[in-house]
Amino acid sequence: MDNAYKKEKRKFIIIISILAVCLLLSFILSMSIGRYAVPLSDTFKYLFGQKIDEMSFKVLNNLRLPRTLVAICVGCALALSGTIYQSIFNNKLVSPDILGVSSGASVGACFGILVGFSTGLVSLFAFVCGFITVLLTLLISKAFKNKSNLIIILCGLAVGGLMSSLVGLMKYLADNEMKLAEMTFWLLGDLSKVTINNFWVILPVTVVGIIISLIFSWRLNIISLGRKESKALGVNYNVTTIIMIIVATVLTAVSVSISGTIGWIGLVIPNLVRLLIGSDNKKVVPVSMLLGAVFMVICDMLARSITPNEIPLSVITGVIGTPLFLFSIFKRRKDLEWKTL
């Protein structure tokens, strides 16, 4: 028993270490790679505060650094949200937008773009509408007076469908030249307009979300067993569920309000992590955060460098995420028990 525990602990430490190194390497490469290539030597000089030519400094300081830092936070937040939702609803097919937060944020962003708001106000509207949509989902589910998580999921799907219809209406009303293109690009994910201010907004939210998730990770293991089992083991199911839903919702809403809608990360990453290290959330939570950050940085690097024009992020995450998700299903096909809706 002790040998098995030590082996699992060693495996966890090795995976964490490898992902930390991969994150550092992807950060450095992301700073250097793009339509305007910056030599690695200049990147290292910049990071260590040494003087470099003016053009490289502007690219690194004003574009690459904020974009890469935001990509790390967004990837971390979305992967963490997916882990939380999948544990709460005990369903490996659940993603961060299950309660309609992404659809609601899309409504807010499209409305802001339609009326001509600034980028900052568009992000603010996206966050507010995303959060309100989740509250609406929870209020509607309460009206059914049924404590089943299935009711919450179904209400989330219904509200999300309504929000998607509103997005379609606003796209129909938008002009074909500028606003429709801006809406479409935002709905597919975009980090091209982020600034260092966006990083200072998402950083504290991500850090607080990480801390709470790490503290509650063992409780996620218990509430995934069900309401009765949680009570028997001394965990308040309702309080824990509400706290973690709020954490996951805020993480998703802030991320989507800054980056636009980015699919697959919250669905694929937790499943890949469980394939690597099992279902213990005390390990899944930190590994998911790191892997999500690495995945997001790599996808963003590809989005801005493989073609002359930038590719929307959801296109890249979908192309990479689909085979990875199918691979995780294939590897766990014998022991996965999928919860059908």
For the residues 71-77, what does the mean pLDDT come to?
A: 96
- Report whether pLDDT(296) > 80: yes
Give the distance from CA 111 to its chain's centroid. Answer: 23
Which pLDDT value is given to residue 268? 92
Report whether 289 contacts 158 (CB < 8 A): no
Q: How far apart are CA 23 and CA 182, in angstroms?
A: 30
Q: What is the pLDDT of residue 84?
A: 93
The structure tokens 């028993």 sit at 1
Would you say 81 and 251 are in contact if contact means Cβ atoms under 8 Å apart?
A: yes
Question: Which residues make Cβ contacts (< 8 Å) with residue 113, sequence separation at least 6?
Answer: 122, 174, 179, 182, 183, 186
**Domain enclosing residue 54, as ranges:** 18-331
CA-closest candidate to residue 167, choices 125, 121, 199: 125
User: What pLDDT score does 131 carry?
Assistant: 87
What's the CA gap between 261 and 312, in Å, rounded?
10
Please check whether residue 8 lies inside any domain of the structure: no
Is residue 323 within 8 A of residue 52, CB to CB? The reply is no
- Residue 4 domain-assigned? no
Q: Is the pLDDT of residue 175 over 80?
A: no
Span 37-57, mean pLDDT? 90
The 3-state DSSP class for residue 308 equals coil
Nearest to 300 by CA among 219, 227, 181, 192: 192
pLDDT of the residue at 95: 83
Instruction: Read off the pLDDT of each residue in 182-202 and give the average, rounded to a whole number.
Output: 89
Q: Lowest mean pLDDT of 97-106, 170-179, 234-243, name the range.
A: 170-179
Residue 334: its pLDDT value, please? 62
Given a cut of 60, whether residue 337 has pLDDT beyond it is no
User: Residue 12 domain-assigned?
Assistant: no
CB atoms under 10 Å from CB of 12, counted, come to 18
Q: What is the pLDDT of residue 336?
A: 54
Q: Give the residue among 40, 25, 31, 29 at the shortest CA–CA distance from 59.
A: 31
Q: What is the CA radius of gyration of the chain?
A: 20
What is the per-residue pLDDT for 1? 54
**pLDDT the model gives residue 197:** 92
88 versus 150: which is more confidently predicted?
A: 88
Write phi, then psi, for 260 (nearest 5 degrees): 85, -175
d(CA 71, CA 82): 16
Contact assessment for residue 175 and residue 115, using Cβ atoms and an 8 Å cutoff: no
User: What is the distance of C-alpha 129 from the center of its chain?
Assistant: 17
- How many folded domains does the chain comprise? 1
Q: Is residue 184, in this structure, part of any structural domain at all?
A: yes
Establish if 236 belongs to a structural domain. yes
Is 57 inside a domain boundary? Answer: yes
Task: Name the band, by pLDDT with cuts 50, 70 and 90, for residue 338.
Answer: very low
Reported as a single tens digit per residue, the pLDDT across 93-128 is 788 878 888 889 899 999 988 888 887 888 888 899
Question: How high is the pLDDT of residue 44?
Answer: 92
Residue range 118-165, pLDDT digits in tens: 878 888 888 999 889 988 988 888 888 776 777 888 888 899 889 989
Residue type, 256: V
Instruction: Give the model's pLDDT for residue 339.
Output: 46
Domain assignment present for residue 290? The answer is: yes
More confident residue, 93 or 284: 284
- Yes or no: say if 35 and 305 are a contact pair by the CB < 8 Å rule: yes
**CATH number for position 209:** 1.10.3470.10
Average pLDDT, the chain: 88
DSSP assignment of 32-85 equals H-SSS---HHHHHHHHTT----HHHHHIIIIIIHHHHHHHHHHHHHHHHHHHHH
